[in-house]
Amino acid sequence: MIEPLLNIFRLIRIVRERGNAPLFRRSRKQVLDILFCRNDINRKNFLCLPFYWWGMLKGLDMLVWRLETFGFLYLPGTTEEQRSRLNGYL
């Protein structure tokens, strides 16, 4: 019961440390589509969203992996040079 609440704080810390701020600013609509499950891959009813995110926050590693896959989080151990090179494609 308390694990998803703790994982919210862990996720906030991970996003602050490894978040790709230029990508967040550039694709704000895509981030909102992911949060509200409005994209074609993962479309959910608005009433099901709290239950979906509660389940996702039980397994924080899967959520972090998804954010890394879409490029919203840098991989651990990336240098500033690698980060600027990755964002050069934006």
- Decide if pLDDT at 72 tops 90: no
- Where residue 14 falls among pLDDT bands split at 50, 70, 90? very high
State mean pLDDT over 43-62.
87
What does the pLDDT read at residue 37?
A: 85
What does the pLDDT read at residue 10?
A: 93
What does the pLDDT read at residue 12?
A: 92
Structure pTM?
A: 0.78
Q: What is the DSSP string of 21-85?
A: HHHHHHTHHHHHHHHTT-SSSS---GGGHHHHHHHHHHSHHHHHHHHHHTTSBPPTT--HHHHHH
Percent of the chain with pLDDT over 70: 99
